[in-house]
Amino acid sequence: MVPRYSRPQMEAIWSPAERYRIWFEIEALAAEAMAQFGTIPAEAARAIRDKGAPRAAAIGEAEVARIDEIERVTRHDVIAFLTFMAEGIGPEARFMHQGMTSSDVLDTCLAVQMTRAADLLIADMDALLAALKTRALEHKMTPTIGRSHGIHAEPSTFGLKLAGHYAEFTRGRERLVAARREIATCAISGPVGTFASVDPRVEAFVAEKLGLAVEPVSTQVIPRDRHAAFFCALAVVASGIERLATEVRHLQRSEVREAEEYFHPGQKGSSSMPHKRNPVLSENITGLARLIRGYAVPALENVALWHERDISHSSVERVIGPDATIALDFALGRLTGMIEKLTVYPQRMAANLESLGGVVHSQKVLLALTQAGMSREDAYAAVQRAAMATWTALGTPAARNFRANLEADPAVSALMSPAALEAAMDPKRDFVHVDTVFRRVFGEA
């Protein structure tokens, strides 16, 4: 992922230096377990830890370059790393990697990296949920128009809009927690996963020390359905991000202007048009969401490997592992800041709510007419007749509001008095159960 969309904590997880430090920890733990079970000398395991730990901790650009130099000869990344470590450890290094295969190191390392990444993403979700809850409670009873197909439907509240997104991201958080649990597995099973050359107790020891579970059947690699589920969980969260970003983009349109991204002092919206205030943050994270969703497909393709293993998945994961988690981390952080500072215009919401002359109350009048004795078909025709008369004359000298057109209809006035119409169109009726929804979402009114 390009630096523009990277945050330091997440980026650090995927750095070459950190990857090599995790590799060393896996090798050192395996050696300690082997010494405990009598496979290698105890003094060898101590030497690997005592001499190797400072060497691994000191890995920087020069050391990464040295490993790369070795790999250009060996054409094998794990062997290059083991050779580099042996240069500092000495003769005892021959006891590293006993009975293990490269995937034992690579897959277990990837599990560590992905669980660490998941922990950051879950923390990001917590911050976003806190921001959404704060703004939802703030605007719990702020009237706005609900839209279906982009067209005015019935009144809602801006708090209810945000509560819906809060509930969605709560589900997204649960999916991330489940994905983290599923990906947190360790494989130290040797060639083709039979444990022929490494004691299963070594795997259990390493897994416990790293906070992982053992992979029941690794076949030399950890099955990639686990990874596919992880990236699909990221993709679903990304879709939730885009849904909220799209809502903000629509609300910021000049014709709507019910809410907009905070416009910073000194910010410029356009290189040519000084008046512009563009929804650049929500557009930016919409693009990132598209990328993150795109990474789910190659993760799914990685599931079908040949026999006990191949490495067709490897090149894919070297890209999508860092990129998907770094991009989602950035997008969640940006979305949280955007919601915290979102500028809301209740007066514009009220104006838009009334802009169609009251037709948004059509269903309540329809129900009132049926309760007064009119058939549903006749009631629908009468209410639609009044609504269309209101809608088509808006902005013209002949314009009348919805209530006036209803009162002028003999079929309606025969069954409903002006007071009954007023009661049917009372805006308070739209918000009677807002508290019920908020209790369902937040556990409080």
Instruction: Give the SS3 label for residue 57.
Output: helix
* First-to-last C-alpha distance (Å) of the chain: 42
Q: Which residue has 């790393």 as its token pair?
A: 81
DSSP 8-state assignment for residue 165: H
Question: Which phi and psi (to 5°) does residue 98 adopt?
Answer: -65, 120
| Dist. CA 124–CA 207, nearest whole Å | 26
Instruction: Return the closest-CA partner of residue 48 out of 9, 13, 82.
Output: 82
Q: How far is CA 296 from its chain centroid?
A: 13
| DSSP state letter for 141 | T
Neighbours of 328 (CB within 10 A): 29
- Answer yes or no: are the C-beta atoms of 144 and 258 closer than 8 Å: yes
One-letter amino acid at 180 equals R
How far is the C-alpha of 363 from the C-alpha of 371, rounded, in Å?
A: 12
Structure tokens at 67: 């490993």
Cite the active site residues: 149, 270
Which amino acid is located at 371 in the chain? Q
Q: Assess contact for 430 and 155: CB atoms under 8 A.
A: yes
Q: Name the nearest CA neighbour of 28 among 88, 76, 116, 118.
A: 88
Q: Is 213 helix (H, G, I), strand (E, B) or coil?
A: strand
C-alpha angle 251-252-255 in degrees, rounded to nearest 5:
85
Burial of 88 (0-12, 13-18, 19+ CB in 10 A): middle
User: Which of these, 97, 309, 112, lies nearest to 220 by C-alpha position?
Assistant: 309
